[in-house]
Amino acid sequence: MIIAIALAAAMRATTESIRTTRHVRNVTIAHFVAMNILSEIQTDLLPLSSSNNPARGKTNMLGQDWAWSATIQSKNQFNLEQIEVKVRLRDRLITTVTGYHAQ
């Protein structure tokens, strides 16, 4: 009986560890995807419309398809645009990265 309880606890701990590792991996990859998109916008390789229509696309990284959207949030007095990049995996928002682009 004691061994069964100990094994169940060990299995639960292992499952939680795997879930946490998967989450950290997904957040890290999503962050890389967002930073790559932001870099493309900042270097004018990816044009971004000033209207409220976000740029959308998919990126394959490490064997997974990541959907992303990039929107201009606001402009400030220094003529900088605040860009927000959201990255999703299987329709679930994983991360949001904010950066700036000079006009």
pLDDT averaged over 10-residue windows placed end to end, the chain, 103 residues: 76 82 95 97 88 89 96 82 95 96 84
| Predicted pLDDT at 30 | 97
| Predicted pLDDT at 77 | 76
- Residue 59's SS3 state is strand
The CATH number of domain 2-102 is 3.20.20.10: no
| Predicted pLDDT at 78 | 80
* pTM, full prediction: 0.82
Amino acid at residue number 39: S
Query: Number of H helices and number of E strands within the chain?
Result: 1, 4
- Residue 39's SS3 state is helix
| Predicted pLDDT at 17 | 80
Q: Which residues contact 8 (CB under 8 A, 6 or more apart)?
A: none
| Predicted pLDDT at 49 | 77
